[in-house]
Amino acid sequence: MKALGPLRISEIERRDVIVLVNAVMDRGAPIMANRTLALLRKMFNFAIEQALTESNPCSRIRRPGKERQRDRVLSEVEITTFWHNLPRTRISEMVQDILKLILITAQRPGEVAGAAWMEIDHAATQSISPTEHDSGTSLWTIPAERSKNGLAHRVPLSRLAIQIIASSANDCRYLFPSPKDGAKHIRVSSLSHAVRNNFDMLDVEPFTPHDLRRTAASQMAGMGISRLVIARILNHAESGVTAIYDRHSYDNEKMEALDAWAKRIENITDKCR
């Protein structure tokens, strides 16, 4: 930060930030360059909240260093920050709901974005009370044609998932219709675009929508849920005839795991209200 020392906070411009971050890159430290940018972004967001400045010069500056996105997992602190900052971003309510459902259900972004009402147990989405709902009969069935491994996949829905789905009620075929064409579902690329353009307001290290699915799996493993059950929740590819007929035998275990995970999300996000 020494390079910005002589400047007043109101004098720091985007070019100053770029020069600083590039200098770190030139030292051969791409990850440190990313962290420097992230820290500056947080500092300016705080300054805006305190009315010390009116804008964040870090906005729309891309991370200079490449990182292995496939290893990205959000911590509990980051989950809480992400959850509470979502409403403060420019991300539409529809995309906010999709991102939350990816985290809650641990399903693929494309499967959530393309969910159709006919795939949902409609009875479970009616008259949902914040304290009354047993997810035992609430299922979302992803058809084989939308499943990555070509097998239909049953996803038990927690009360938290049902609340979000119920709030998305509409007369379209899809839960999340395209803003441009109600006969189609929202494009999955819209999710990545929305997240990428709002990192400064989400106030967490960069991540992709798919990282929310990985985060759910990692957090469930940390809760002691077996890898076999997590694999069933994720609908990972299996081989053999027995595997095909064995898939529905884990519905109860998947339900218990996803209920426990949803309650965990509620607990960690409620702590910072």
- Concatenated DSSP letters of 33-76: HHHHHHHHHHHHHHHHHTTS-S--TTTTPPPSS---GGG----H
- Predicted pLDDT of residue 32: 83
- Specify the amino acid at residue 14: R
Check residue 137 and give its pLDDT: 61
Nearest to 262 by CA among 78, 110, 142, 83: 83
Q: Where are the domains of the chain?
A: 2-67, 70-270
Whether domain 2-67 has CATH 1.10.150.130: the reply is: yes
* pLDDT tens digit sequence for 136-174: 468 999 999 998 888 889 999 999 999 999 998 889 999
Beta bridge partners of 74: none
Rg from Cα positions in the chain: 21
> For residue 188, what are its two tokens?
């999955």
- DSSP H or E stretch at residue 140: strand 139-142
The per-residue pLDDT for 132 is: 43
Which residues does the chain have with pLDDT short of 50?
A: 1, 127-136, 241-242
Res 138: pLDDT: 85
Q: Are 204 and 82 in contact (CB under 8 A)?
A: yes
CB atoms within 10 A of CB 9: 12
CATH number of 70-270: 1.10.443.10
Q: Please give the pLDDT value at position 133.
A: 45
What are the distances in angstroms from CA 102 to CA 4, 10, 161, 165?
A: 39, 39, 10, 12
- pTM, full prediction: 0.73
For the stretch 161-186, what's the b/e string if a residue is b when 16 or more beta carbons lie within 10 angstroms of its beta carbon? bbbbbeebeeebebbbbbeeeeeebb
